[in-house]
A and B are shown apart, each in its own frame.
Chain A
Amino acid sequence: MRHNPKKILLRIFELLIIFIWVFPLIWMVITSLKLEQDVITKTFTFWPRNPTFANYTKAFTSTYILNWMGNSFIVSLGAMLITLVVDAPIAYAFAKIKFRGRNVLFWAVMGGMMVPFQVLIVPLYLQFNSYGMINTLAAALLPRVALPIGIFILKQFYEGIPIDLEEAAFIDGSSRYRIFSKIILPLGQSAMATVIILSFINAWNDFLWPLIVINDTIKYTITVGIANFQGTHGTQYSLIMAGAAVASIPQILFYIFFRKKIIAGIATSGLKG
């Protein structure tokens, strides 16, 4: 079996696919290490002639990339925290409290997942315009806090928590609020982690809304900033690639630490960017 030529061919094919699939990312790094004149040149070379970190230095010093990443952190963290604060209690209510109108309310909330964000951009813009909040990070993050999919994930998990635990606590005289904070929240940590990751990524990758609501270059989020790189730095491809590489560091770290959670989150929720 070991020397089956068909299998060897298949392995070679797989290695080739692996190379093709990572190549764009390798090329991003290689380009970012090249000098400008070695990128736009008639004498193309694959490897950098004079490997340099100059583009990275330049990206940090002569662009707003650190501001943009900071802005994206504020927006994503803010969206994530508010999402947790509002999603967890209602998910608990849907899972464990038999109140009137629960089913109707649940479907009204889940129906929100079908609304494409594009439908909301004009009215949201006018809404934030009337509050005088255009060009603020708060405006960039607030429309991202109502995340029905987060409720769905948490509700599924909370439903699996045995009712006996709650009943025992009720007999001891605990209130709903105590049960929620002392029993449900600690037990639901893993589902919470999934929601944290999904809402963070969701907000971090947001593009259309910050593009609309933020005007000042220094207040851009990283996605808008990188998109505007091409406009402002034209053909400085090695600088653009250095910027793109720096902008991806948080996601790469995120992937390394939470790979399993991210994949499990997608497999259970089908959240699509």
Chain B
Amino acid sequence: MIPGNKDTRDGIVFSIPFLFVYLAFMIYPLLSGLYISFFKWDILSSANFIGFTNYKTLFTDEKFYTSLWHTFEFVLMTTPTLLVVGFLMALAVTGTSPYKGILENIFFFPYIFSMTVVSTLWAWLMQKDWGVFNQALMHINLQPVSWLTNENLAMWSVGLTTLWWTAGFNMVLFSAGIKQIPKEVYESAAIDGATYLQSVRHITIPLVRSTTVLCLILQIIASFNVFGQVYVMTGGGPHGTTRVLVQYIYETGFRYYKMGYSAAMSYILFLIILGVSVLQYALLGRKDQ
């Protein structure tokens, strides 16, 4: 019906505006970043081609390894907790509680605040001498805690902040999944004498599996990209124990102006995240079969 001979022309014309910005601000930098990663370049002087040297240096750079490890640490800390808490929140807001409307709003609300507001706020709550957490601890005669200045604790504190900030996001995804489960399934389980916990375990959890996979992958990617919270709350300290990979990439590029080296590191991060994304399709693909 629709005259077909103009489809190709129209398709291209309608695509051009986006393709222009996409090429300029995504494809071109992506490729030139790869190119730059083979150079030694500090912006001021001219670039020197050094082949794979940046990548070789990277594998002997202790700071790179520790930063990568801190990123993994953050991923391992936050992924399970944010998934479980998000799921529990979703159970609460899809249940029968008279407060479920309030709970849904309260749980989601922190997510709308910008990362820097959340981070400065929590840095203040966790402040060692005057922060309200330690004031409360001292009030009940407990020792104050060095939330952000203790090497073993700082990353957990950042993780706790992230939990408060973004658990509501996972709640939204989970509750959308739970709402799709037909009521009849629960009703017939209740008739058969299933308790609440049994129906959660044998109905809800298996039936939101695809949501869980989606949440898991989004969470892992978001956690791999962590930077802002750490940068604002601890600055990577104490003694570099919370320096994450993105921060090292940022500092290498924009504090020490080692552009090529910074680009090489960012490509390694890209490969890791790409690996996770491929895993996503493997997992989602298996589910669809």
Contacts and interface: CB of A to CB of B under 8 A. Distances in A.
A57 B192 CA distance: 64
A90 B107 contact: no
A129 B114 contact: no
B124 A31 contact: yes
A18 interface: yes
B232 A227 contact: yes
Contacts of A41: 130
Interface stretch (B15-23, B56-64, B201-209): B15-23
Nearest to B129: A40
B218 A272 contact: yes
A73 interface: no
Contacts, number: 254
B120 A267 contact: no
A119 B270 contact: yes
Interface residues of B, number: 93
A227 B244 CA distance: 18
A14 B7 contact: no
A124 B29 contact: yes
Nearest to B9: A99
Interface in A46-76: none
Contacts of A93: 10-11, 14-15
B76 interface: no
A267 B125 contact: no
B256 interface: no
B114 A125 contact: no
Interface string B246-267: 1001100110000100110011
Contacts of B253: 121-122, 125
Nearest to B228: A207
Interface residues of A, number: 90
B3 A270 contact: no
A146 B2 contact: no
Contact of A143 (B17, B25, B176, B218): B25
Nearest to B134: A44
A119 B18 contact: no
Interface string B22-52: 1011101110110010000001000000000
B130 A39 contact: yes
Interface string A17-58: 110011011011001000000011100100000000000000
A105 B16 CA distance: 12
A270 B9 CA distance: 33
A212 interface: yes
A266 B113 CA distance: 15
A193 interface: no
A208 B226 CA distance: 11
A47 B183 CA distance: 47
A90 B19 contact: yes
Contact of B270 (A92, A115, A204): A115
B92 interface: yes
A266 B112 contact: no
B269 A18 contact: no
Given A21-B106, A273-B166, A122 B266 contact: yes
Contact of A86 (B7, B9, B21, B92): B21
Contacts of B108: 263
A146 B259 CA distance: 24
A85 B14 contact: no
A115 B103 contact: no
A156 B8 CA distance: 21
Interface in A120-166: 120-127, 129, 142-143, 145-146, 151, 166
A244 interface: yes
Interface in A233-273: 237, 240-241, 244, 247-248, 251-252, 254-255, 259, 262-263, 266-267, 270, 272-273
Question: Which of A167, A227, A254, A272 has the largest number of chain B CB atoms within 10 A?
Answer: A272
Contacts of B105: 259
A176 B102 CA distance: 47
A204 B277 CA distance: 26
A122 B267 CA distance: 11
A226 B117 contact: yes
Contact of A129 (B43, B129, B222): B43
Interface string A196-220: 0000010011011001100000000
A34 B26 CA distance: 46
Given A21-B106, A255-B109, 5 more contacts: A99-B7, A99-B11, A118-B270, A146-B22, A204-B114
Interface of B: 1-4, 6-12, 14-15, 17-22, 24-26, 28-30, 32-33, 36, 43, 92, 97-99, 102-103, 105-117, 119-125, 127, 129-130, 132, 135, 139, 164, 166, 169, 172-173, 176, 214, 218-219, 221-222, 224-225, 227-228, 231-232, 246, 249-250, 253-254, 259, 262-263, 266-267, 269-270, 273-274, 277
18 contacts: A22-B109, A90-B15, A98-B7, A100-B8, A114-B274, A115-B30, A116-B224, A118-B246, A122-B262, A122-B263, A126-B259, A180-B14, A207-B114, A208-B227, A208-B246, A211-B250, A223-B116, A267-B172
